[in-house]
Structure 1
Amino acid sequence: MTGAREPIPFGINLSFCVKRWVTPKLWTRVVRERLGLDLVQFSLDLVDPMWPNAIVERHAAAIRREAQATGITIHSAFIGLAHYTFNQLLHPDPAVRDYAEEWLGRAYRFAALAGITRVGGPLGAIPARLDGSEAEALDEADYTDIITRMHRLGARAAAEGLSELYIEPTPMRREWPWTVAQARQMMSDVAGSPVPWRLCPDWGHGTFEPLYGTDHGAMEPWFRELKDVITAVHIQQTDFLLDRHWDFTVPGKVDPVDAASLLRRTGIAPAPVFLEVFYPFEHDSGSILKALETTSALLRRAFA
């Protein structure tokens, strides 16, 4: 017996809200009333988990309250752009790595208070070399250290009652993982974590031709070879030349209908897909809303 084709859950990362719709009273209305969506991925650009406890707790309570009142599901929280700019768990100074680990631990606490059960994002970057050359792999000591920290973070997440932690592969040799094989190795090495680590690949990362070449097969190898550890996906419009994070009013190489077909064909569906777009801070908010309305409608149709 063959049932009807199930829609692919589609939502939006709140990256577009940074410095604009920064409170839950604002972004819940934008998401529901302007974009017609009820699924979001929270951005930790909107709440810094290192704020004093009283402030974090007040904001977490407001997020939980407004999401419930508007019928919005917050699938997960991602680290955002601000924290991503630091080298985090791969900084050359171990004390900075310790701070980054504590930042994530506090992010888990905030998420739990806000009713969010999954947290993730890229975990770090090694420094560039003086001659500008790029390493093919992390040093063994750096890799061992980040795996050890991921296990500790899994225990911290378990203590907060979280259900999943994410790592987002990025298209840079200084971050980890940036290949399918590296991602598989990392998932194997953290398999015993008290809270499972999973992958959230991004359409603009796995298609980055300056790193992978023009004949590497785009997103399909990531989806086919890692489908057992992929439980969320980021989508963006891009040209495969840089990690653009454009909306779908901009011409690019990602076709939403083809994307939906690939997700179904490789078995990734019904994992949720989140639009992740960034805009210059000086970009006017009105045109952003119009572009996101068009984009959300287009992707809703493609994933239905």
Structure 2
Amino acid sequence: MATPLGINLSFCVKRWVTPSLWAPVVRDRLGLDLVQFSFDLVDPTWPDEILDDLAAEIAAVPERHGVTVHSAFIGLAHYTFNQMLHPDPRVRDIAERWLGRAYRFAAKAGIARVGGPLGAIASRVDGAEAEAIPPADYDDLIARMRRLAVVAAEAGLTELYVEPTPMRREWPWTVEQARTMTADVAGSAVPWRLCVDWGHGTFEPLYGRYRARMEDWFEALAPEIGAVHIQQTDFQYDRHWDFTEAGAVDPTAAADLLARTGLADRPVFLEVFYPFERDDRSILEAVARSAAILKTAFSRG
């Protein structure tokens, strides 16, 4: 089975910021027809009249450009905040409302799925990091996830994603934590599933040199995984390099692993980030080359 291959629009931030710009780039320059929208391109807190117009533009993308918008992820801007694990519950409330507005925008834009990391507890003054977030914070997070599923269902979404990250201050960051979380939100108004990232599950400084393996995530959590992010990385940091860079991720081996673990039918999105000062042409060339490399690897079937 050929694995569905797309791209997260993270590479478009501050550059190809409207559908009339990013859709032709994706379809004509990259030769792809599947994208994951980024809320770095649209802030759900903007005025409703602006959001409605922007949503209508995105909703027209499949017919106008032949590109399907599979899902929307929160992006880097919102991720920089502690979101629903901030020490001040008022900030958690704001983050919950932010996601609710993101859900409503996505639904109007014809996007049926929304996801991303959900939050981070604050660091301790002494720099020590615990092996888990406090139980009260976890319970509060689960309650918010269940409330958000109701909001998503009312908006018309079909699926929500949580993205595990390789940090002890966020949740989940281990396979077992991910299994526990998906069990604790089972039966929500809209199902919560996982979007796992190749640079997160292979982060050796956290998991250890011989235990940082995507196999562990795929084999243990395959039924709960709805999408996958792929990037080039060296397993030392969450690099989000493209595949013109030298790294430890082999696209052919990645495709084979997905097939072996029963995940060949899940969409895989290239997720790459670039310095804002880098020139546009070199980014287009690098992303196009990366898309070609991945298409070769993932089109077998």
TM range (shorter): over 0.9
Is 1:155 the counterpart of 2:150? The answer is: yes
2:44 is matched with which residue: 24, 38, 49? 49
One-letter identity of the residue aligned with 2:146: H
Matches of 1:267 and 1:117, distance apart in 2? 23
Structure 1 runs not aligned, ≥5 long: 1-5
Equivalent position of 2:227 in the other structure: 232
1:28 is matched with which residue: 23, 43, 51? 23
Matches of 1:66 and 1:221, distance apart in 2? 37
Matches of 1:212 and 1:282, distance apart in 2? 33
Extract structure 1 runs of 4+ deviating beyond 2 A: none
Which structure 2 residues correspond to residues 174-253 of structure 1 after superposition, within 5 A? 174-253=169-248
**Residues 107-133 of structure 1: CA distance to partner in whole angstroms, max 9, x if unpaired?**
000000000000000000000110111
Is 1:67 the counterpart of 2:92? The answer is: no
Equivalent position of 1:124 in the other structure: 119
**Residues 213-243 of structure 1: CA distance to partner in whole angstroms, max 9, x if unpaired?**
0011510000000001001000000000000
Shift of 1:146: 0.2
Does the aligned pair in 2 maintain the 1:10–1:300 contact within 8 Å? yes
Shift of 1:65: 1.4
1:173 is matched with which residue: 139, 150, 168? 168
One-letter identity of the residue aligned with 1:223: F
Matches of 2:140 and 2:90, distance apart in 1? 13
Matches of 1:68 and 1:246, distance apart in 2? 31
Matches of 2:250 and 2:219, distance apart in 1? 19
Does the aligned pair in 2 maintain the 1:57–1:113 contact within 8 Å? yes
One-letter identity of the residue aligned with 2:183: S
Equivalent position of 1:16 in the other structure: 11
Equivalent position of 1:3 in the other structure: none
Is 1:102 the counterpart of 2:136? The answer is: no
Does the aligned pair in 2 maintain the 1:169–1:200 contact within 8 Å? yes
In structure 1, the residue corresponding to 2:78 is in which secondary structure?
Answer: helix
Equivalent position of 2:291 in the other structure: 296
Does the aligned pair in 1 maintain the 2:201–2:212 contact within 8 Å? no
Does the aligned pair in 2 maintain the 1:28–1:67 contact within 8 Å? no
Shift of 1:68: 2.2
In structure 2, the residue corresponding to 1:200 is in which secondary structure?
Answer: strand
Equivalent position of 1:112 in the other structure: 107
One-letter identity of the residue aligned with 1:140: P
One-letter identity of the residue aligned with 2:168: R
**Residues 5-47 of structure 1: CA distance to partner in whole angstroms, max 9, x if unpaired?**
x100000000000000000000001001100000000000000
In structure 2, the residue corresponding to 1:198 is in which secondary structure?
Answer: strand
Q: What's the TM-score once normalised by structure 2's chain length? A: 0.99
Matches of 1:116 and 1:187, distance apart in 2? 22
Shift of 1:269: 1.3
Matches of 1:232 and 1:112, distance apart in 2? 19
Structure 2 runs not aligned, ≥5 long: none
Q: Report sequence identity in percent.
A: 69
